[in-house]
Structure 1
Amino acid sequence: MTTIRHEAQVPLTAAGRRFDQALAEMFPDYSRSRLSGWIKSGAVSLDGAQVAARQLLRGGELVRLEVELENEVSSAPEAMALEIVHEDEHLLVLDKPAGLVVHPGAGNPVGTLLNGLLHHDPKLAELPRAGIVHRLDKDTSGLMVVARTLPTYTALVDLLSRHEVERQYEAVVLGTMVAGGTVDEPIGRSMGDRLRQAVRDEEDGKRAVTHYRLRERFRAHSLLQCQLETGRTHQIRVHMAHIGHPLIGDPLYGGGLKLPRGASAELIATLRGFRRQALHAEKLSFIHPATGEDMSFSAERPADQRQLIEALREDLAVHGSEHY
């Protein structure tokens, strides 16, 4: 169990302010809600006494913080082969394979990335969601960052909320696009299906922005580079389907099988056999919360998506720009 200890003097400039407000500025490594909880539990004292969060300060008081971090998650550790591309004492970056669920939930109580992370580093149990600050859908592959300390967790959540984590994806979609663009449409839960998200009006949905660029155009499909400005559930999948170009293989938002005229048996088999959304988180960039370094990571597309793109390229080479 990790013990956190801090001692600091309230600055004179904080005179007349509430204790919880000043504490948040004195200890920015921890969220306001967590500090408020520690005040209530007595883990934070002011001149040796337990006081209320609303206590007004005079400046110059001594603040002591001492808390033992209890486990935030109860899931069992499970041995799992994790593709870790970077690891230090503050965080790790991994390349998640398609098919791996990130969080335990209904229908997936075990065998998730969270279970594997707890086996890799048992102290992650002391962090919310075992340090996972953002997620990828089960059948989306690619890069994720995981915090290993509470200050890093707080900082990464803040970076994500301020859109200062660059997340770049590769997607293969139905239809031939002629140019890139931006989809700026709110997203919320679908009214008719609790498993789906949908473009909603501003009152019912949250702002969602996806930038996309055309990389390659095939006879009946397109290869895109997608950049997330926001990070809503299923965002790229919903936005691409909304503009009429759903992802190949997407079981929730896909538009069915599209075969170019005269497609070879190999291409038909590849398209029919691709049974997940063709989406890969290929690049992740952010400022390291502890060191201030520019961190940038890339992950090669997985074998199934590579095979899919190669098959589409071969079809285009044989048939030219003839469409289906």
Structure 2
Amino acid sequence: MADTVQREERVPETMAGQRLDQIASALFAEFSRERLKAWIKSGALTCDGASARPKDKLRGGEQLTLEATLEEDKRFAPQAMALDIVHEDDDVIVIDKPAGLVVHPAAGNPDGTLLNALLHHAPGQMQLPRAGIVHRLDKDTTGLMVVAKTLSAHASLVEQLQARTVSREYDAVVTGRMTAGGSVDEPIGRHPKDRKRQAVTPSGKPAVTHYRVVERFPAHTHVRCRLETGRTHQIRVHMAHRRFPLIGDPVYAGRLKMPAGATDALKDVLRHFPRQALHARKLAFVHPGTGEAVEFRAALPDDMLMLLDFLRDAADTHAE
């Protein structure tokens, strides 16, 4: 049986002059732009109780009403893939994502994604927006993600993410020796010249990252980052902006610089570390079904444990 969705949102005055489909995409962010356009055209998404066109420009203050049936999204095929499930119940699945796993199909990655694996693991996910996925991790970032299993759970988690009440904490290993923790409060948006990258830019969306030092090495630091917002590549961009890029980051780290006095073993590890050294270690939210606060943790993966071991060994050698 297909689920139904019923939502109402008031158009903020700050969105005056934008197209209906753009505004709907921002206010009903859990649904794809294509699906929202189809609902506008069919009359399932109305503006002040009347049908409208996707290209119609709004003045602000209008009431958008969405009453639609969620049909199964058959664009993506279920695929049998191993999932490291930390927790599962009737409302949510919490997954420890490995490095190399893309979350959602896109150009260049049409299948073999977390979404495909979820559709095989729980076929009912096919009726949910993006198969219940409410937030993402980069392909080569490891760690915890929560996935909704019902439409009500999906709405709850999306609301919590928008309200910034979901707690997300990451382990990162950066280049450079930090003297203390701090916060980065800098807007992030698409890079003005390279559309595949993000950047700190005045035209970007607000982004706040808090970080503290876990362990210092002669030329590197193990830090723990807590997200207040959830922009694309946020930790990677903010740390690089502070001139502490993540080890192994192929996009934001720049040219690899070997620290003075580095052992041959450490040089080899730094040259060949295969990904950005970033792991989503802790995830906390209000459970959509029980209303209780829940928290999940994932241990550091082997590659980051190995990296830290080499940094410690090199630090001991340096001290001698």
Q: How far does residue 260 in structure 1 lie from its aligned partner after superposition?
A: 2.9
Distance in 2 of aligned mates of 1:130 and 1:196: 26
Task: Identify the residue that residue 142 of structure 1 maps to in structure 2.
Answer: 143
For these two proteins, the number of residue pairs brought into alignment is 281
**Structure 1 CA distance for aligned equivalents of residues 70 and 238 of structure 2:** 40
Q: 1:67 to 1:185 in 2, by over 3 A?
A: closer
Distance 2:263 2:216 in 1: 18
CA distance in 2, matches of 1:42, 1:257: 54
CA distance in 1, matches of 2:238, 2:220: 16
Question: Residues 174-213 of structure 1: CA distance to partner in whole angstroms, max 9, x if unpaired?
Answer: 1111000000000000011111000000xx2100000000
Residue equivalent to 2:301: 302
Say whether the 8 Å CA contact 2:246–2:278 is kept in structure 1. yes
Which residue number in structure 1 is paired with residue 54 of structure 2? none
In 1, the alpha carbon distance for the partners of 2:3 and 2:104 equals 26
Rounded to whole Å, the distance in 2 between the matches of 1:173 and 1:223 is: 6
- Which residue of structure 2 lines up, in the alignment, with residue 87 of structure 1? 88
Deviation string for 1:103-122 (max 9, x for gaps)? 10010001111111111011
Q: Any gaps of 5 or more consecutive residues in structure 2?
A: 10-26, 51-66
Whole-angstrom distance in 1 between the partners of 2:250 and 2:295: 31
Q: What residue in structure 1 maps to residue 49 of structure 2? A: 53
In the TM superposition, 1:118-267 aligns within 5 A as 118-201=119-202, 204-267=203-266
Superposition pairs for residues 277-288 of structure 1, below 5 Å? 277-288=276-287
With structure 1 as the length reference, what TM-score do the two structures score? Answer: 0.80
- Give the superposition deviation at 1:258: 3.2
CA distance in 2, matches of 1:78, 1:299: 25
| Bigger-Rg structure (1/2) | 1
Does the aligned pair in 2 maintain the 1:171–1:247 contact within 8 Å?
yes
SS at match of 1:155: helix
Q: 2:119, 2:126 within 8 Å by CA — same for their partners in 1?
A: yes
Change in Cα spacing, 1:223 to 1:149, as seen in structure 2 (3 Å) is same
List per-residue Cα deviations over 1:147-188 (Å, max 9, x = no partner). 000111011000000001000000000111100000000000
Q: What's the offset of the Cα at 1:39?
A: 11
SS class of match (1:256): coil
Find the aligned partners of 1:140 and 1:307 in 2 and give their Cα distance.
16
Please give the root-mean-square deviation of Cα atoms over the aligned residues, in Å.
2.8
- Name the CA distance, whole Å, in 2 between partners of 1:4 and 1:234: 33
Contact 1:39/1:53, CA 8 A, preserved across alignment: no
- Seen in structure 2, the aligned counterparts of structure 1 residues 184 and 76 have a Cα distance that, compared at 3 Å, is same
Residue 41 of structure 1 deviates from its aligned partner by 6.6
Show CA shifts across 1:117-147 (max 9, x none).
Answer: 1110111111111000000000100000000
- Single out whichever of 137-146 and 286-295 deviates more from structure 2: 286-295
Identity of aligned pairs, percent?
Answer: 59
> Residue 64 of structure 2 corresponds to which residue in structure 1?
none
State the one-letter code of the partner of 2:311: L
Would the aligned equivalents of 1:283 and 1:298 in 2 still touch at CA under 8 Å? yes
Counterpart code for 1:128: P
1:73 touches 1:128 (CA, 8 Å); kept in 2?
no
Are 2:318 and 1:319 aligned? yes
Structure 1: tracts of 5 or more residues without a match = 7-18, 22-31, 44-51, 55-65
CA 1:312–1:88 in structure 2 vs 1: closer, same or farther (change >3 Å)? same
Check the 8 A contact 2:3/2:127 in 1, yes or no. no
SS of residue matched to 2:157? helix
SS in 2 for 1:152: helix
Normalised TM-score (structure 2): 0.81
